[in-house]
Chain A
Amino acid sequence: MTAVADFSVYLLRSLKETFTPPYRYKDIMSQLEFVSWQSLPVILFCVSFAAIVTIMESSFHMKLVVQNDALVPGFAALLILRELGAVISALLLTSRVGAGLAAEVGSMQVTEQIDALRMLGIDPVRFLVVPRFLACIAGGFLLSLIANLVCLYCAMLVSELSLGYSPGAFLTGMRAFVDFQDLIFATIKGATFGAVIPLVSCFFGFRCKSGAEGVGLATTNSVVVSSVAIIVLDFVLTYIFSHFY
């Protein structure tokens, strides 16, 4: 209960500081580069494989149930846009960025750098959390957008090579199901998941107990809690967005 109360206070403080200028653009940009540019290869690699699996699995199931896989392009495209693209990239971002942030802030806490910041009159939330928070929101937005579109492109490629649907047929099938708003919702999801990662990671970093073990525990907890939060938030957002269809 104490942790929940602490997190609520910390969340409100973070949000307050986020909306209070001035901003340290250089720091935000370097964090954004770390979150988006450096995470891009691994995310693209993973979503490409996710696309292959989606196409092959949906084809298998469609053939099993309706003896026909003509609906696979539309079905797979919708699944990618509504769920896979945003969730897979967010989970990968958690394991890459979230773990890193928790370890970084945890080490600073253990080595009393946070206390040093406080002594210098610098608010650690404003100094550490806000740039990462903003960078992760923007990074989550950008990465989910790129991941979704690359995933769709891979799905198109796989359905041509594996199922024999031309890109035109794929796009026609996709148009029957997919709207532009699906991509907008996917990017909103991406940005929300992105926002969760630094908040949770930095929170566990600040609460890190002394020693290497404490840092390890903080990192583990931050990844677990971020992942669970992403899955729960995914449900909440999907439920909210379902009212727009």
Chain B
Amino acid sequence: MKYLTTIGLEVHVQLRTRSKMFCACGTGFGAPPNTQVCPVCLGYPGAMPVMNEEAIRLTVMTGLALGCAIPAFSKFDRKSYFYPDMPKNYQISQYDCPLCDGGAVEFESGGQGRRVRMVRIHLEEDVAKNMHFPSFSGVDFNRAGVPLMEIVTQPDMGSPEEAMDFLLALKQTLSYLGVSDCNLEEGNVRCDVNCSVRPDGQEELGTKTEIKNLNTFKGVFHALRHELDRQVDVLESGGRVTQETRRWDADQGVTYSMRSKEDAHDYRYFPEPDLMPVELDAATVGEWRAAIPELPGARRARLTAEYGIPGYAAGVIAADRAVADYFEAAARASKNAKAVSNWVMTEMLRLLGERGMTIGNARVTPGALARLVSLVDSGVVSSTAAKDVFAAMFESGGDPDALVREKGLAQVSDASEIEAIVDRAMEENPKSVADFMQGKSAAAKFLVGQVMRLSRGKANPKLVNEILERKLGAE
């Protein structure tokens, strides 16, 4: 039997703020345990939360970018549950009046345009980190209270691949907005997934399960693949899927049911009395909207239209806002945007990838790249030599003209100089000359190669061909 899949996601995104959501503690990653703590984020008696305005702004900007409605009234609530990672044993979150309602993410998956609708985006505080030892667990409250934006989607995804593409598109947008570092290694983005299967033709959705706390996109993909297979197996063997929360064991590659003594889950939400509501006026929202940069989809389209580069190249370049900024700066300084896009996509991204660098700390300035392209186009350097120049600039920066001079990489376009080299190549390779005479045209290619070798790659290939052709014709 064929089964249909339904997937919904809750994506938790750590916002890029200097201080925590409700106190002034720092948010830096990797500090020694419990060194970024204060009475508020340790849940001390008498301590009180105060909202970080920047976290509100970043959440609302995200909402605006995803087409959410921004309600005139929003508030925070207490969500009660006891757990050692919770300093107050309630989490300050948002229940019925989130900062953002609705919205959608549009992206491509499997060569098709897709649209995943949002339910809402709300803001809450992150919890502490637990570390498990044989007989006890340790708690580090550095992360407790870091602003966490929760993006809840409708169950609009039909496959793990689509869920993955959605996450990549969402991450691109969030990075563009600058609202989060989106650093998966540091746990900046964590997902809870809901999924269910139903036989093809059945209208109503199957029973869903939830897999909590997936902190890599790969984990989301594999956990979904496994869990969906498991659900199909259950149904195929005549069983029923139980609605439950499961965990993903990445090492074993399986999901398992979470069993706990917590028989009762009753979050007992009620309005947080220590915080006043958020009531944003149109002017403030307008000001925040104005700060939204061009988003990846729009930029991709514009790069193609404005610079005439192919759609694929535009996609690769627009995927990263900084790369796209770099490209545009170089392309504007150059007459050959297509060549610039090729340099960025191939040499630049390859070398950055090899070194684990980002374009922000590349030594090749956009102006230098534009100049290098023009040196190639005007025949001053060959494209082969240009790669050496690029590599040198990548290592230690510098000006392409100077590097061409220093390294003596300028192309030789002086006919008499090339004639002399051609003569020498013909003298040294009489057999090839003879082969050519007997109609073996491949021999000419060999001779061109020899000329280039003797000129250490600097001879203008066009002139070499012309002169060699003329001389061989005269033999």
A binds B: no
Query: Which residues of B pack against A, CB within 8 Å?
Result: none
